[in-house]
Amino acid sequence: MKRVIFSKDAPKAIGPYSQAIEANGMLFISGQIPMDAQTGKLVEADIKVQTRQVMENISAILKEAGYSFSDVVKSTCLLSDMDNFAGMNEIYGEYYKENPPARAAFAVKTLPLNVLVEIETIAVK
């Protein structure tokens, strides 16, 4: 059974997709960008500030679905430039102090709205 997850504390989808889908004890969170859900505006700052906003958006969706960061098993981090990896990694690590999930990180040509980082997440209960 598929359940659509929506948190008012994370940005609304800007296309034909859901913030997250839960199915069979697994939560699939769509790629989150550094958008403030309250203002609807991008956080336009350095990679660390943008990554923190992305992680807070993920946190809100996890919470809405009844999951936590300890349930996350896989993350995919998309970066505008691999020069941003160290800054992203520093903030990302603050959310996964023990038993971090598997992860992949890629530099891509362009991210939505020209942000510096986008992260998608899979969690399992």
Please give the pLDDT value at position 80: 98
pLDDT score recorded for residue 99: 95
Total count of domains within the chain: 1
What pLDDT is stored for residue 74 in this prediction? 98
For the chain, list residues with pLDDT below 50: none
* Domain membership of residue 23 as a residue range: 2-124
What pLDDT shows up at residue 89? 98
Domain of 44: which CATH number? 3.30.1330.40
* pLDDT confidence of residue 1: 86
| Residue 90: per-residue pLDDT | 98
Q: What is the pLDDT of residue 14?
A: 83
- Report if pTM > 0.85: yes
Q: What is the 3-state secondary structure (H, E, C) of the chain?
A: CEEEECCCCCCCCCCCCCCEEEECCEEEEEEECCECCCCCCECCCCHHHHHHHHHHHHHHHHHHHCCCHHHEEEEEEEECCHHHHHHHHHHHHHHCCCCCCEEEEEECCCCHHHCCEEEEEEEEC
